[in-house]
Structure 1
Amino acid sequence: MTYEEALAYLEDTSSFGIKPGLERIQALMQALGNPERDYKIIHVTGTNGKGSVTTYISYALFTSGLRVGRFTSPHLESYTERIEINDVQISKDTFGELINRVCQGVEQIIADGVEAPTQFEILTAAAFLFFKEQGVDYAVVEAGLGGLLDSTNIVKPIVSVITNVTLDHQAYCGDTVEEIAKHKAGIIKEGVPIVTAAQGGPLGVIEEAAKDKNAPLYIFNRKFGIDSRSVVPGGQIMTISAVDAAPAMLFTTMAGVHQSVNLACALQAVRLVMEQDDAISEETMREGFARATWAGRFEIKKALDRTFIFDGAHNAAGAESFNMTYQELFEDKPKTIVMAILSDKDENGIIREVVKPKDTVIAVAAPTPRTEIPEQLVENVRQCVKQVVAQTGESVSDALELALRSTQAGDNIVVCGSLYILGEARSWLQDRLSH
């Protein structure tokens, strides 16, 4: 298969939708020879921050001289972003060949009477197969949805991380944070250490699951925590302490107090890996954390005499993190926001956190049937926030052109509300800069 043929095949499989359950992926992995058993795995889930934690951990490991696979979702611009080795994306040609081999496994299990796998299950299988073929020492794997019934949950990791638990994906994981926590806690395996920054009711669920599985539990603000934190040019510096380790002073280019919590979780997870791998040192780990970048997560680009900020802010908790980070860096500076929100999210919760009086909002559609109609989004913005200018845009690119024309040098332009629109936004800026 070419890359384009692979995309067409994946597009066909997306019609199967989201189907929680492990039977299909187990059959598919067996057909492919269970490649996921050939290397060590760190498994990461949570409502927010799981991609950032996955990135931090993978950087710490490959900066230590190890060969590390990373599997994340969703992608912003290309499916190749989801499967990386030492921060290098799989090539489009290799991706096409890989999907072709997985497709043969899919045909085999369907012939055996197994239901057709979903798109995410095929991508999961492709990543696990690629990591084996590339001879990785470790794979850092981000769960797609929930944990318990997520296709990544066939692995037996050496460390697991649950970043946090808030309301999101209620249709699949439950209507309360405790129900969602049960899904997240589903990644906890017998005797495997678990790191978490969950709080309140969700933490109680995780504690119970860890106890049932005899899994050592490392809880943020109990076993490890942040002593100090300061914003510096280009990022932030923090001191993280732990019950059984010397305090560590760390730098990250990623902004926001939420990223300091993510980094604390990643530090604890890597230290647990260090106990069984002397290739990793405190020094190489710190260097990896300092080098880590994660596109579309309060990503700041100074260009065209403006400051552009690309952030998912795709659920209420993510929007709250966006607001805290924006206030910390820019205080009450008005902003022009290109925004899309999916209709199954807490729209008003996101709007109230992100949009402030004197802001300008240009509502666009995200490239998914789940998107809120821009006209309705404008109406919701006007109802939630007074003194705001709101209008629709034909597309993300058109909205950014409009934002550019209606702002002045030194102004802030934000793209947020859904990860689905960040790819086009980043491409637009790249094209604008290359002309």
Structure 2
Amino acid sequence: MKTNKLFAKNHKNSPSHRTNLRADAAWALFEVLESGRSTRDIMPALFERYTKPQDRGWLQEATYGCLRELPILQFWTHTLLDKPLKGDKKIIEHLVMLGLFQIHFMRTLDHAAVSETVNAAKALNQPRFSGLVNAILRNFTRNNVADLPFPQPHIEYGLPKWLHKQLQQDYPEQWQNIAKQSNKKAPLWLRINKQKISVDEYSKHLDQAGIEHECHGIGAVKLISQTSVPKLPGYDDGWFNVQDYAAQQCMNLLPIDAGDTVLDCCAAPGGKTLALIDVNPALASLYAIDNVASRLDTLRENITRAHLSNEQKIVVLHADAAALSTHDKLPMFDKILLDAPCSASGIIRRHPDIKWLRKRADIDVLVALQSQILDEVWAKLKTGGTLLYATCSILPAENSKQIQTFLDRHDDATLVPIDEDSPHVGWQILPGEQEMDGFFYARLLKSK
């Protein structure tokens, strides 16, 4: 997600209440839904409060699960509450939703879910609401609230109203499956660093560690077993990067020749940077730019961990892609990868908070930004060069329509089909296709 700054508000960086799993999960929900914070910002601080992997796993499972099923949980909570809670009391509503999620979706025993959730109210320094939490959770099962019909269709599909309507409009035959796939848990994909180890060799290491997996394509491994990433074989030696199979397709779609000067635009945290240099070791140089300095720190860390033999070919620069023409340190490029800022609507299954951080008005802002970046980046591409446009969105306004508009205003741009038999502009991957995230690619040739 590259647009969190659009939604950031004042907030505490970490919880001040005493450590308690359910209290921490409720606090995380409050921060996402009331303060507009991303789980990527919240969860690391919460994980620091726990040393046991199972506690961290439960915290993520419960928090992400509530965000996936939020409309249903909100409907049940508001049905059971006499009136909404406000101000600092609002966190109790989020705690109630967490209790309902445990009972209905996690299949926690009723008495255990009620007892632990009541204790969490005390941990949140809200002991006066213990009785209310107890009554609501008991009334949920006693009154069969889960059997009530939903008053609006978007609730059943776990979507905000605007996205429910947008998917119906953009995908009249597929929107239900898209919603279903977006609510599933995403598998963990690895891209094997072939400068360090072959896919077959790495597969043997996984077998020896008892980690069930599948090998795909030229360098992708999908993990079947749930495993902590730092405990995977070769983590410290740079044998792999965590990267969805859809994102890995950039290696195949951007043809890079020996001696090419390449730009990875909006590059942080660097997954595609590493993929491109891994399969194209003979390129002359690879410039990786991003406009967020802290994200570039993460990119540098990932480059260091990869232990690349040609690491010196990567040039990391702090630069704004929307004003690229003003940057005098950049050369002209033979090939460009533009992983554009987007709604991230294709990776909701991996980051369910996206559904609640994004608003319909944000799409228009992002479309305008993408258009500006495309024009700026295009000016830095050599004649005869190729630009690969990518987003982790499934909205045509950011993808096929964006590219068609670009082609209409640039007579030196030619669309190079990814699939010769497809009538569509670019390649739209929908969530769940070959178990990939939702993603879009379009390949453009600068013809004159």
User: TM-score of the superposition, structure 1-length normalised?
Assistant: 0.32
Higher strand fraction (1 or 2): 1
Highest CA radius of gyration, 1 or 2?
2
Structure number with greater CO (CA < 8 Å, separation at least 6) is 1
User: TM-score of the superposition, structure 2-length normalised?
Assistant: 0.32
